[in-house]
Amino acid sequence: MRAFQTILVTGGAGFIGNHLVRHLVKRYPEVQIVNLDKLTYAGNLENLRDIESSANYTFVKACITDEEAIKGIFSQYKPDAIIHLAAESHVDRSIHSPLEFVMTNTVGTVNLLNQARLLWGDDFDNKLFYQVSTDEVFGSLGPSGFFNEDTPYDPRSPYSASKASADHLVSAYRHTFGLPTVISNCSNNYGPYQFPEKLIPLVLNNIRNEKPLPVYGDGSNVRDWLYVVDHVLAIDLIAHQGALGETYNVGGHNEHRNLELVEIMCDLMDERLGNDVGTSRNLIEFVRDRPGHDHRYAIDPAKIEHDLGWTPTININEGLSLTIDWYLENNLWLENVTSGAYKSYYAQMYNVVEK
Ligand code: NAD
Ligand code: DAU
């Protein structure tokens, strides 16, 4: 069991990051939690209003690719653990701007690795560099089988290739320099505060606004969904108890075809909004498929279950209900994040005329 004095979380103002930061700030009041984030379109300090004045919380605005800034922040706060989530995370955007993904996800990670080496020297006692990665690095599954920790990497989008490169560099720093590292590869997360460019919040937002629900291709692609808080609990366990140099797959055996998931959300929203049965399903529109769209992701979580005793606590029905209630109660948050730049992103991405 490792114990830390200062944990630096990168990307803590993003979707998973804000849940992680909130969890760490509350669970470890004696540990300083430093949230380092560039505040891109996906980062939002509104996500952390409830804990921003906690005595053990600090926010620092910086870009992970900025060598001088990261060096200064590391030397000021001297983190003994770095939990690295900052990334460009949306596959569709990576198809339009691959270079941006390589810069942040790959080059940014190397910069953090270098600065961690510089800060820690040869003293790796109770130190950790934790790379939070994705199951997309494994590529695409057919109708059967699961990704486990021995599945070879086979990334197929600029996003997953940039994350895979970063993972390889983390492993290289472990083997070459002895850096104390750990990597986890998680399946699709969902829950409150997810930016509405991703499938679940996009569909909920569009139902709310009675707008078409874009389903790529024929909607038969499969994703393995995990409630974000369960991912955060896994990250906490891995950070404190995961074996150095190891990788852990995180997922909850929650596979759904996209069309099936969208239909479930339509029905739950109709119930909440008092609509006639089937109202929201009428909004479903099949649109042009994502280029290179991975067919199926599915995680075998046996290792983390067996070695660290992690299992998901929230099933998909509970998780979707919590998520839908949150989005319905947080209209203002949705309004704020979907004004401005989101409108032009949406218009360009889905080929619709801006209103
Ligand atoms: P997100 O897009 O919601 O948040 C990313 C955060 O990183 C934002 O706060 C953004 O401002 C920040 N950021 C981006 N570029 C930065 C830079 N150059 N310097 C500093 N900060 C920067 O992403 P998310 O969904 O919360 O994902 C977090 C991490 O978890 C990512 O590394 C992603 O690959 C991984 N992951 C995500 C999922 C998922 O389903 N969302 C699943 C598995 C793994
Ligand atoms: O598997 C983990 C990954 O999950 C993370 O690494 C990524 O950061 C995260 O964005 C997510 O990637 P996906 O591409 O699977 O998520 P997204 O929500 O974009 O899409 C989920 C599925 O829904 C996918 O098959 C594409 C489809 N889709 C998505 C959108 C936005 C649609 O059919 N219509 C849409 O409008």
pLDDT of residue 28: 98
Q: How many helices (H) and strands (E) does the chain have?
A: 13, 12
Q: Rounded mean pLDDT of 22-45?
A: 98
State the pairing for strand pair 128-134/188-190: unpaired
Residue 194 has pLDDT above 70, yes or no: yes
Q: Count CB neighbours of 209 within 10 A.
A: 10
State the pairing for strand pair 255-257/222-227: antiparallel
Looking at the whole model, is its pTM more than 0.75?
Answer: yes
Q: Rounded mean pLDDT of 165-191?
A: 98
Ligand 2 is surrounded, with C-beta below 6 A, by 89-91, 134-136, 187-188, 198-199, 202, 214-216, 221, 223, 258, 290, 297
Distance (Å, whole) CA 66 – CA 93 = 22
- DSSP secondary structure string for all residues of 77-105: H--SEEEE------HHHHHH-HHHHIIII
Distance (Å, whole) CA 347 – CA 214 = 12
Please indicate whether residue 155, judged by its CB atom, sits closer than 6 Å to ligand 1.
Answer: no
Q: Rounded mean pLDDT of 183-192?
A: 98
Residue 47 has pLDDT above 70, yes or no: yes
CA 119 to chain centre: 27
- Percent of the chain at pLDDT > 90 equals 97
Residue 351 has pLDDT above 90, yes or no: no
Residue 44 has pLDDT above 90, yes or no: yes
Q: Rounded mean pLDDT of 29-35?
A: 98
Phi, psi for residue 45 in degrees, rounded to 5? -70, -15
Ligand lying closest to the C-alpha of residue 249: 1
Q: Rounded mean pLDDT of 223-249?
A: 98
Burial class (CB in 10 A: 0-12, 13-18, 19+), 131: buried
pLDDT of residue 211: 97
Ligand 2 atom with least separation from CA of 350: 36
Distance (Å, whole) CA 351 – CA 253 = 34
Q: Rounded mean pLDDT of 117-131?
A: 97
Cα four-point dihedral sign 334, 340, 341, 342 = positive
3-state secondary structure of 330: coil
pLDDT of residue 352: 83
24 is written with which tokens? 């760490």
Which residue out of 10, 16, 90 has the highest number of ligand 1 atoms within 8 Å of its CB and is therefore the one to mutate?
A: 16
Ligand 2 atom with least separation from CA of 297: 1
pLDDT of residue 353: 60
238 is written with which tokens? 């891995």
pLDDT digits (tens, 9 = 90+) for 58-106: 999 999 999 999 999 999 999 999 999 999 999 999 999 999 999 999 9
Ligand 1 atom with least separation from CA of 18: 26
Burial class (CB in 10 A: 0-12, 13-18, 19+), 172: middle
Q: Which of 206, 234, 204, 214 is nearest to 322 (CA)?
A: 204
Which residue out of 41, 88, 91 has the highest number of ligand 2 atoms within 8 Å of its CB and is therefore the one to mutate?
A: 91
Residue 354 has pLDDT above 90, yes or no: no
- Percent of the chain at pLDDT > 70 equals 99
pLDDT digits (tens, 9 = 90+) for 254-275: 999 999 999 999 999 999 999 9
Q: Count CB neighbours of 274 within 10 A.
A: 7
Domains and CATH numbers, the chain: 6-189+226-251+294-314+340-350 (3.40.50.720)
Give me ligand 2 centre to Cα 129, in Å: 27
